Amino acid sequence: MKKAFALLCFLLFTVSAWADNGYDLWLHYSKVTGTKLLRQYRSQIVSPLILGTSPTIQKVREEFRKAITVLLDNTTTSLEPSQTRTVFMVGVAAAAPHFTNAVTAAELKTAGSEGYIIKSKPGQTYITANTDIGVLYGMFHYLRLLQTHQDITHLNIVTAPKLQLRLLNHWDNLNRTVERGYAGCSIWDWHKLPGYIDQRYIDYARANASIGINGTVLNNVNANATILTAPYLQKVKALADVFRPYGIKVYLTARFSSPIEIGGLKTADPLNGEVQQFWNNKAKEIYELIPDFGGFLVKANSEGQPGPQDYHRTHADGANMLATALEPYHGVVIWRAFVYAAENPVDRHKQAYDDFAPLDEKFKSNVLVQVKNGAIDFMPREPFHPLFGAMPNTPLMMEFQITQEYTGQGTSLVYLAPLFKETLESDTYCKGKGSTVAKIIDGTLEGHHISGMAGISNIGSDMNWCGHPFAQANWYAYGRLCWDHELSSDTIAEEWLRMTFGNENKFIATAKAMMLQSRETMVEYMNPMGLHHIMGTGNHYGPAPWVSDQKRPEWNPVYYHKADSAGIGFDRTATGSNALAQYFPPVQQQWNDMKTCDEKYLLWFHHVPWTFITKSGRSLWNELCYHYYHGAENVKAMQQTWNSLQAYVDAEQFSHVKQLLAIQYDEAVWWRNACLLYFQTFSKMPIPAGYEAPAKTLAYYKSLRFPFAPGN
């Protein structure tokens, strides 16, 4: 009896621990609550017929079964197709006349090669597409409607992705460390591949397919040529085989010096015949193993990586050589524009533009240039990169950072959709008003035949994939925006919360408001008013605005804030570096006068006197104090909000987030105190009365060291 009780306790414990650990991400199916809704769903999903036998359609069937069994608590009704009463049909349009009767040719045209159509009337539902993968995406959409408790009786959905390449970039090394990773090790267990296929690979593909991600760059842009050797290509093939049914192609980073490192050549000069032959052969070898290989991603001549400039060739020469090798197989080259060089004394903000803008028109048609959202480096807030709009003849891909290198790392609740949206909605004015960054990257502004977006992955081996439970929302939001960049941050947060935590309205409204505010809060306590890159050297953890001893000027935070007795900020107007001139005139006008410049970007573009009167009426110094204190206070408010939601969240998730919020609060106070004490040595002005005085001295904050901070 005692034994049986102990066993029961053990089972209960392990079952609940499993249910609460976050592994299921937003695909956390749970029984639909509310009798009316359940009745509606059950009446709608009768005798489902899923047509087709391809591996992708098998996944459609598996997912449907898995979801419906739980959502509708379907233990009795058969989910087997009935030939007599078909009212719920899923499959490619060509599979049955029912589909072509239900949808129009124009709708199928809109759906294209990856989109889908969902139509329902009472007692009738069709999920269809031109392709198997479209059907899978359609199924995930349908299940999302059930998960988020939507009415499904009158659906009329026709949708297609706005971007073609919807990629994750893993900065994963072959030894399983992850550059800027805060969620454990790399999920790729290279040593055991190709023999051992971890269930995680399948669940990874499934999660990505559910949000429409269709490609993954498996390895770090700081690349290792070993990935391109025969044994490693076998491992890559094993992953590609797992991902294929989910519509996900693999891509690899190509180290530019590979011909030397693994090809036995003396040079990697892109104009050298033997080097070209090396890459042609390599492409052939890859495509023999992986016929749908996506292509190469390259970081060249940046931060010490080799590249064509080592041979006095241009980025276009390098990219085109690889593009030629991939062309016969329809592969693409994604060439990163994140370049800056130690030898170059020019403002780092300007260097990528200087290198790339003159190369517009020089790239082959299967090359995309991948540009970070801003010109410096994934800061908490950054004006859009001036290359957007400056290369009309080249398809530009957006690069966002999902992993939170500069946005609170593994400890902070920061919902990044508002950051992504801010960049996408920025107006470049390159072809007059309305020339948004979104229209440039989706190809509609210039009519490009190819388009894409890349997100630096925040995925690791942690049980819940992303470390912070709320970091999953950033992976989710990124994928949803790749599909449709017009979705609002609000809509995406709400979907994610409902799918992940449940549908209680009180919970949703409160948690959503907290998420939507979280990025602005982080900006306020880290980098308010356009301050940037004042994080700890190397690990980028915590504040270190005082660092000035690094050998390259742009590695020092003092380079970016330029605080002195006169004021603070980087003059990027004509009196300074003139980086502002890289933007189109209407944009320059928005930012070139410190009196009218949006204060979000004030210190990004101007060196501003401490006594300058800001829009609030406060002096610049007092305004900085206001933001730092306000930001930290807001984290305290987030803690209170989360505490009020305890009843709605399972205990493990609740406690996980609660503990991390406590760390985040400490970190916010640390940022605030360290920055203000340091900047005060220049402003010589007091922290305004009423604000709690910093508990520690500047010397204390300067003494802090984090030699083993993750991700470095």
Show which residues are catalytic. Answer: 303, 377, 405
Closest separation in Å from C-beta 184 to ligand GCW? 17
Closest separation in Å from C-beta 97 to ligand GCW? 51
3-state SS record for 197-239: CCHHHHHHHHHHHHCCCCEEECCCCCCCHHHHCHHHHHHHHHH
Given the DSSP bridges, would you call strands 396-401 and 367-372 parallel, antiparallel or unpaired?
Answer: parallel
11: Cβ–Cβ under 8 A, 6 or more apart, which residues? none
Determine the Cα–Cα distance for residues 455 and 570; give it in Å rounded to an integer: 28
Closest separation in Å from C-beta 379 to ligand GCW? 10
Closest separation in Å from C-beta 182 to ligand GCW? 13
The verdict on 171 binding ligand GCW (CB under 6 A) reads yes
Report cis status (omega within 30 of 0) of the bond before 231. Answer: no
Contact with ligand GCW (CB under 6 A) among 179, 292, 310, 599? 179
Determine the Cα–Cα distance for residues 30 and 147; give it in Å rounded to an integer: 8
Nearer to ligand GCW, 302 or 673 (CB): 302
Determine the Cα–Cα distance for residues 434 and 447; give it in Å rounded to an integer: 15
- Short-list 418, 402, 397, 380, CA closest to 457: 402
The verdict on 222 binding ligand GCW (CB under 6 A) reads yes
**Largest Cα–Cα distance of the chain, in whole Å?**
84
Residues 303-362 that bind ligand GCW (CB under 6 A): 303, 338
Nearer to ligand GCW, 405 or 633 (CB): 405
The verdict on 255 binding ligand GCW (CB under 6 A) reads no
Nearer to ligand GCW, 103 or 165 (CB): 165
Residues 358-417 that bind ligand GCW (CB under 6 A): 377-378, 405
Closest separation in Å from C-beta 218 to ligand GCW? 14
Q: Which two tokens stand for residue 347?
A: 């403002």
Closest separation in Å from C-beta 428 to ligand GCW? 22
**Residue 112 — φ and ψ, nearest 5°?**
60, -150
Residues 282-301 that bind ligand GCW (CB under 6 A): 299
Determine the Cα–Cα distance for residues 665 and 408; give it in Å rounded to an integer: 11
Cβ distance 540 to 610 under 8 Å?
A: no
Helix or strand or coil: residue 459? coil
Helix or strand or coil: residue 486? coil
Determine the size of the site formed for ligand GCW (CB under 6 A). 11
In the bound state, the residue with its beta carbon closest to ligand GCW is: 377
Closest separation in Å from C-beta 414 to ligand GCW? 16
- The interface mask with ligand GCW, positions 543-582, x = CB under 6 A, is ----------------------------------------
Contact with ligand GCW (CB under 6 A) among 152, 221, 275, 297? 221
Determine the Cα–Cα distance for residues 64 and 56; give it in Å rounded to an integer: 12
Phi-psi region of 295 (alpha: psi -120 to 50; beta: other; left: phi over 0): left
- Short-list 381, 521, 387, 397, CA closest to 452: 397
Contact with ligand GCW (CB under 6 A) among 162, 180, 313, 421? 180
Residues of the shown chain interacting with ligand GCW in the complex, contacts defined by CB under 6 A: 171, 179-180, 221-222, 299, 303, 338, 377-378, 405
